Amino acid sequence: MKTNRTATQVKASAPIDDRVLDAMIGQTRPRIERAMKILRRPQARVGVISSPLGRLLIAESDRGLAAIHFLFISGGERTLAMLRRKFDLIENDASARRIGAEIDRVFEGDLSATARPVDLSLVESDFQRRAYTSLRKVPPGAVITYHGLAATVGQPHSQRAIGNTMASNPIPIFVPCHRVIRSDGTIGNYGGGVDNKIKLLRAEGFEVGATCDCRRSP
């Protein structure tokens, strides 16, 4: 037999106990927070600085330095587009200035100034990730050849791929592609310009001759 409850009867029903309601909310909150964490995009702080290497676009996430782009070279819009695909961008000049101060310290002789963590989110290829990770182990004041770096990632005949990887390095200076030179001792190319590669190598104690040969200062 069906029982028809009137609106009056429904209103007269006992209210949900506050403790029961709190418990229900408590059980639901972790699921909501997990869903929001999935939906929430990571943020990156961006800014522009002047440096001994020219004007630089800087991007830093909570995981580390995500991008440095030499603004006197084309491709700044592409770098920003790549960043926007991975992060919500927030203008933050203070963050950029802190990183700029670390670059300044390199030219003041502090070879440990570029040890901060990096975020390789803009790197899509596993080969490139391994190459950049290996390259960060090359200390200031040392260099490695393209062939040598290829060997560290288990592909010693991939010098050309290493060259392309260095040319597309999203975090120059801190992922030190300026420390990668040719097997004949000449410095090779650099995404930020050969002049800047020479500046960085000299700051780290190398002599670079007129023929762009690189040797350790006595």
Going by C-alpha positions, the residue among 125, 193, 194 that lies closest to residue 165 is 125
CB atoms within 10 A of CB 179: 24
Strand residue runs (E) in the chain? 43-51, 54-61, 65-70, 88-91, 144-145, 180-181, 206-208, 214-216
* Dist CA 71 CA 77 (whole Å): 10
* Tokens (6 digits) for 179: 């420390």
* Cβ proximity of 141 and 89 under 8 Å: no
* Tokens (6 digits) for 161: 């791929």
Domains for the chain: give ranges and CATH numbers. 41-122 (3.30.160.70), 125-218 (1.10.10.10)
The pLDDT value recorded for residue 28 is 72
The pLDDT value recorded for residue 216 is 64
* Dist CA 160 CA 70 (whole Å): 23
The pLDDT value recorded for residue 27 is 73
The pLDDT value recorded for residue 5 is 53
b/e map 120-138, b = 16+ CB within 10 Å? bbbbeeebbebbbebbbeb
Active site residues: 177
Residues 6 or more apart whose CB falls under 8 angstroms from that of 25 comprise: none
Residues 6 or more apart whose CB falls under 8 angstroms from that of 206 comprise: 141, 143, 214, 215, 216, 217
The pLDDT value recorded for residue 10 is 45
Phi, psi of 60 (to 5 degrees): -135, 130
Which one-letter DSSP state was computed for residue 66?
E
Strands 43-51 and 54-61: antiparallel
The pLDDT value recorded for residue 13 is 52
The full DSSP string for 10-38 is: HHTSPPPPHHHHHHHHHHHHHHHHHHHHH
The pLDDT value recorded for residue 156 is 92
Tell me the sheet residues that pair with 60: 45, 65
- Segments of the chain scoring below 70 in pLDDT: 1-18, 20-22, 24, 31-39, 210-218
